[in-house]
Amino acid sequence: MARVAEHLMSGSREPDCPLAIAHDYLTQRGGAERVVLALHRIFPEAPIYTTLYDPDATFPEFKDADIRTSALNRIGLLRRNHRLALPLLPLVSTLFRVPARLTVVSSTGWAHGFRATGKMVVYCHSPARWLYLSDQYMGEGAEAKAVGLFLRVLKPSLIRWDKWAARRLDQPYIANSTVVRDRIRAAYGVAAPVIHPPQSVDAQEAQAPVPGFDPEDGGFFLVVARLLPYKNVHRVIEAVRGTRHRLVVVGTGPLEQELRSRAPANVRMLHNLDDAQMRWCYAHCSAVVAVSHEDFGIAPLEGAAFGKPTIALRAGGFLDTVGSGETGAFVDSPTPAGIRRALDQFDPSRFDGEVLRQHAEEFGQARFEDQLRTILRDLGEEV
Average per-residue pLDDT in the chain? 90
Domain 220-361 sits in which CATH superfamily?
A: Glycogen Phosphorylase B; (3.40.50.2000)
Residues 6 or more apart whose CB falls under 8 angstroms from that of 145 comprise: none
Q: What is the pLDDT of residue 30?
A: 87
Average pLDDT over residues 25-54: 95
Distance between CA atoms of residues 239 and 338, nearest Å: 8
Architecture category of domain 3-198+365-378 in CATH: 3-Layer(aba) Sandwich (3.40)
pLDDT in tens, 306-345: 999 999 999 999 999 998 889 999 999 999 999 999 999 9
127 contacts 187 by C-beta, under 8 angstroms: yes
Average pLDDT over residues 19-30: 95
Stretch among 22-36, 70-84, 241-255 having the lowest mean pLDDT: 70-84
Distances (CA, A) of 298 to 1, 52, 317: 28, 24, 9
What's at 163, amino acid-wise?
K
Distance between CA atoms of residues 101 and 351, nearest Å: 48
Share above pLDDT 90 across residues of the chain, in percent, rounded to a whole number: 73
Q: What are phi and psi of 154, to 5 degrees?
A: -85, -15
The closest of 115, 22, 7, 5 to 70, measured between CA atoms, is 7
Distance between CA atoms of residues 299 and 322, nearest Å: 11
123 contacts 105 by C-beta, under 8 angstroms: yes
pLDDT in tens, 116-163: 999 999 999 999 988 888 766 555 554 455 556 666 778 889 999 999
**Of residues 144 and 375, more confidently modeled:** 375
Q: What is the pLDDT of residue 16?
A: 85
Stretch among 130-139, 168-177, 227-236, 314-323 having the lowest mean pLDDT: 130-139
**Of residues 354 and 132, more confidently modeled:** 354
Q: What is the pLDDT of residue 276?
A: 95
Q: What is the pLDDT of residue 9?
A: 56
Q: What are phi and psi of 319, to 5 degrees?
A: -65, -20
Distances (CA, A) of 173 to 94, 120, 127, 197: 18, 9, 11, 14
The band of 54, judged by pLDDT with boundaries at 50, 70 and 90, is: very high
Q: Indicate whether 75 pLDDT > 70.
A: yes
Question: Which stretches of the chain are assigned E, i.e. beta strand?
Answer: 3-6, 17-23, 48-50, 66-69, 97-98, 100-107, 115-116, 119-124, 173-175, 220-224, 247-250, 267-270, 285-290, 310-313, 328-331
Q: What are phi and psi of 104, to 5 degrees?
A: -95, 115
Q: Indicate whether 215 pLDDT > 70.
A: no
Question: Is the torsion defined by CA of 383, 43, 51, 111 positive or negative?
Answer: positive
The band of 206, judged by pLDDT with boundaries at 50, 70 and 90, is: very high
Average pLDDT over residues 186-203: 93
Backbone region of residue 228 per phi and psi (left: phi > 0; alpha: psi in -120 to 50; beta: other values): beta
Q: What is the pLDDT of residue 103?
A: 96
Q: Indicate whether 235 pLDDT > 60.
A: yes
Per CATH, 3-198+365-378 and 220-361 having the same topology is answered yes
Task: Name the DSSP class of 53.
Answer: B
Question: Domain limits of the chain?
Answer: 3-198+365-378, 220-361
